[in-house]
Structure 1
Amino acid sequence: MLVQQIQGQLAAVAAVAAGWFTFLQARPLEVLFGGMVVLAVCRLLLTVRTRFFHLSSIPGPWWAAYTRLWLCKTIASGDSAKIFTDINKRYGPLARIGPNHLITDDPDVTRRILAARSHYTRGPWFDAIKIDPHVPNIVSERHTGKHNHLRHRMSAGYTGKEIQGTEEIIDERILDFCQKINQRWCSDAAETRAFDIGRRIQYLAVDSITHLCFGAPLGFMDQDRDVHDFLYTIESQLPIVQHFSVITEINTLLERLTRIPWFRSLLLPSAADQIGIGRIMGISKKVVDERFLPTSPPRNDMLGSFIRHGLNAKEAEAEISISLVAGSDTTATSMRATLLAIITHPVVYAKLQAEIDANIRAGRISSPIRDQEARDLPYLQACIAEGLRRFPPITQLREREVPPEGDVIHGHAIPGGTFIGLNAWGLQLDPVYGDDADVFRPERWLEAEADPDRLRRMHDVHELIFGYGNTRCLGIRIATMNLNKIFVELLRRFDISVLRPHRPWRSICYGIFFQKDFEVRVSKRQGQVK
């Protein structure tokens, strides 16, 4: 009896299936259209639910709650740093910028999210920073334990502790930069030679980082050009990559497709490519392959340090490639932005040059200046701190994912799985800096010395420029050494003025900055202090 019932039910199911199959054969377009309508309605219902029931208490641009296209539009604008800052000014320290995306400019919240023992994790945003979707690097690794292990193995190289003559390498590159200016670009009383100092600072930064990484510069300054189209590659690829950090499904699809060899060769850059990211990979691969030869002697540079601490060839290749991209652009932006701020504020310029001259006369500055000597110049340090504060070089959101148990921020219950981006520029406008936080004014750091508690709080906010906790930038020492030297070596030798005071440069933001047409007039200082 039971068997007969089961047979009957199976026959009925088969009949229904056959009927549907016949209907599908007879009207395929109607079935396809109906399916698309059902999917569209389901998507609409999900969007409405997300808008009105998920993060609905948190204000933000009205249409950002419906779609990630608001984020895509903001990133594509080339002005995202300012837009994100304006969003937090308008909507408060926690604002909604996507269906599942928030942004904060609150230093306390940022520190809590980035703290070493925080339960927040790196979100899928970081997958966009992989050069190879199957090989994470120190910037993109999302697993906390693996990231910490990678930091441990790479810290000695990034900090310069295992690089032989780190300071001497930086001195060599900066002195070469000054000599090239002296030989090629100095103006005299009878003529003005337009000097694109922004582009040449970028060349200096690339030569410095490759000298530290590989033991020799790539030759940007000597050839006075973009060797291997390195900078062109970054500038053309990064705007595209930024969208991968929003439409993260692209990264997942790419990772899965490239497990198939044919798709891998079709979709991923290769070290054999003559253009694009593959060109950068090719530079790294060539050097790494040579280092892993049995006959290759150990080298005391950044790559040598990585190899000594156990990175294999694939890992070393990925880390060197990301170091060239991330290290050169951020350092160059810091130098350019701070220099522009100094030379367009006459009082600041005069004070800084006077401090440099006085210390040269007193014998407290070597030629070139030593890092420790620069740290003892209070106004120089105030200018550097203020330059970084007003123009943090990295503005990418670096989204973290709220832990499964959720969180409460500024009275709002935040569900687990929400992504929170960090507003780098907004953080540095915190009220602790005073009522004129949007103004470049180095004196604020010297004035705050009369109030040690306020000065400590200023430094606490300022250090967030370089990250915090286990994500704090490993290259701070090398970056600050460059900043400590470049302004002294330029201002002791030259007078510098912008050629177009109403539009001194073009600065475009795609998470990092591309700055062009920063043209200046450089002349040798009269009565230069030796």
Structure 2
Amino acid sequence: MDILSKIVFGKELGCIQDPIFKNHFIEYLHSTFDMGWTATSFLNLTKFSLSLSEWLSEVLFPIPLMKFKKKCIVLIDDYFQSRKIPTACEAGRVLEKEEYNKFVVIDTFVDPKSAKDYSVLNASQLAEEVIMLLSAGNDTTSDSMMVGIYQILKSPKIYQKLNIELATSFPSLEEEITYDKAKKLVYLGAVIKETLCYSNPLPGRAPRMVPSEGYTLHGHVLPSGTAINTSSYLLNRHANVWSNPDDFLPESWLEKDAASLEKYMTSFYRGTRQCLSKE
């Protein structure tokens, strides 16, 4: 989360400073995730709470997300103050008048020239965008890394092959491993792809709606508006697509037909709702 917060608004949240890694931002985030499962189980109650004004909803349904949002608003204000800009709206006016150096993601949110007919977000809207960015790339990234590291250490063959490639490409410990250099390493790329395909850090279903013309699935005609649910875990382990789907095999991405596997990997899901970090 420290890396993400640095990218989003230029400040680390101190998540690794505590000896046991206890941090209220992490607690808010995980509590929000837990609340999400409750919200999906009681949809009418969720809709009712969302229809209320923010202050009343906070009194009747105190949820960690609102505390998280307030903390984010403070951090956003601190960032603008550090750039000597009073508010988000003021940042938009500054950007209209002069060249504005964009340091972090939040600078783009307050740039009225970011897109055609774009309206600069207010503090509350900015906080919601920040929460989405921090939560979407937090546990998913760390969980994938844990799975990948475990699988590498579990297999001496994979570990040795990866170690040789890295040591050959970066023989000096003082040499910086940049993205431009690392992305050229073939086996490292295969290990990363296999990690993304194998780890599936995002649980749950991904609903998609049948379009107006309907859809035929295994001989059954589904009418327009029908919700079809699946998950990246099931798709990334489908035996008709993947050979030995329960094994961690980076070599799968080095074979001649590896390019064809790309369209079947759904670690970031697909369509208009796919994960922003895919690109």
* TM-score range for the pair, normalised by the shorter chain length: 0.7 to 0.9
| Residue 244 of structure 1, aligned match among 32, 35, 39 | 39
* Contact preservation (8 Å) 2:7, 2:105: yes
| Residue 302 of structure 1, aligned match among 95, 105, 108 | 105
* Contact preservation (8 Å) 2:170, 2:177: no
Match of 1:264 in 2: 57
In the aligned structure 2, how far is the partner of 1:304 from the partner of 1:284?
A: 15
Match of 1:372 in 2: 180
Equivalent residue runs for 1:316-465 within 5 Å: 316-361=126-171, 367-403=175-211, 406-431=214-239, 434-446=242-254, 448=255, 451=256, 454-462=257-265, 464-465=266-267
State the Cα distance separating 1:240 from its structure 2 match.
Answer: 3.2
TM-score by length of 2: 0.81
Q: Percent identity?
A: 25
Q: Is the partner of 1:252 in helix, strand or coil?
A: helix
| Residue 48 of structure 2, aligned match among 249, 253, 261 | 253
State the Cα distance separating 1:367 from its structure 2 match.
Answer: 2.7
* Change over 3 Å in CA distance of 1:359–1:207 after alignment to 2: same
Q: Aligned AA for 1:320?
A: V
In the aligned structure 2, how far is the partner of 1:435 from the partner of 1:369?
A: 33
* Change over 3 Å in CA distance of 1:225–1:325 after alignment to 2: farther
Match of 1:126 in 2: none
Summarize deviations over 1:384-430 as a string: whole Å, max 9, x none: 11111111221231322334554222211223333222211111123
Summarize deviations over 1:225-271 as a string: whole Å, max 9, x none: 54642222333342331132244223222233x14x7742423558x
* Contact preservation (8 Å) 1:401, 1:418: yes
State the Cα distance separating 1:277 from its structure 2 match.
Answer: 2.4
In the aligned structure 2, how far is the partner of 1:344 from the partner of 1:474?
A: 31
* Contact preservation (8 Å) 2:238, 2:245: yes
In the aligned structure 1, how far is the partner of 2:176 from the partner of 2:42?
A: 48
In the aligned structure 2, how far is the partner of 1:241 from the partner of 1:442?
A: 34
Match of 1:283 in 2: 71
* Change over 3 Å in CA distance of 1:417–1:434 after alignment to 2: closer
Q: Is the partner of 1:475 in helix, strand or coil?
A: helix
Summarize deviations over 1:159-197 as a string: whole Å, max 9, x none: xxxxxxxxxxxxxxxxxxxxxxxxxxxxxxxxxxxxxxx
In the aligned structure 1, how far is the partner of 2:180 from the partner of 2:73?
A: 36
Q: Compare the two structures and name the one with the higher strand fraction.
A: 1
TM-score by length of 1: 0.45
Give unmatched runs, 5+ long, in structure 2. Answer: 95-99, 115-119
Summarize deviations over 1:298-327 as a string: whole Å, max 9, x none: 552011111113333222111001211111
In the aligned structure 2, how far is the partner of 1:441 from the partner of 1:248?
A: 41
User: RMSD value over aligned CA atoms?
Assistant: 2.7
In the aligned structure 1, how far is the partner of 2:122 from the partner of 2:56?
A: 25
1:232 aligns with 2:232: no
Q: Is the partner of 1:408 in helix, strand or coil?
A: strand
Q: Is the partner of 1:422 in helix, strand or coil?
A: coil
Match of 1:146 in 2: none
* Change over 3 Å in CA distance of 1:226–1:246 after alignment to 2: same
Match of 1:471 in 2: 273
Q: Aligned AA for 2:273?
A: T
State the Cα distance separating 1:371 from its structure 2 match.
Answer: 0.8
* Change over 3 Å in CA distance of 1:322–1:224 after alignment to 2: farther
* Change over 3 Å in CA distance of 1:331–1:232 after alignment to 2: same
Give unmatched runs, 5+ long, in structure 1. Answer: 1-205, 271-275, 478-530
* Change over 3 Å in CA distance of 1:283–1:255 after alignment to 2: closer
Equivalent residue runs for 1:470-489 within 5 Å: 470-477=272-279
State the Cα distance separating 1:334 from its structure 2 match.
Answer: 1.5
Match of 1:220 in 2: 15
User: Size of the alignment, in residue pairs?
Assistant: 257
* Change over 3 Å in CA distance of 1:360–1:405 after alignment to 2: closer
State the Cα distance separating 1:456 from its structure 2 match.
Answer: 2.2
In the aligned structure 2, how far is the partner of 1:387 from the partner of 1:327?
A: 16
Q: Aligned AA for 1:416?
A: S
In the aligned structure 2, how far is the partner of 1:471 from the partner of 1:214?
A: 24
State the Cα distance separating 1:465 from its structure 2 match.
Answer: 1.5
In the aligned structure 1, how far is the partner of 2:213 from the partner of 2:41?
A: 24
* Contact preservation (8 Å) 1:379, 1:442: yes
Q: Is the partner of 2:244 in helix, strand or coil?
A: coil
In the aligned structure 2, how far is the partner of 1:254 from the partner of 1:264?
A: 6
Q: Is the partner of 2:221 in helix, strand or coil?
A: strand
* Contact preservation (8 Å) 1:244, 1:251: yes
In the aligned structure 1, how far is the partner of 2:275 from the partner of 2:44?
A: 28
Q: Is the partner of 2:165 in helix, strand or coil?
A: helix
Q: Aligned AA for 2:104?
A: D
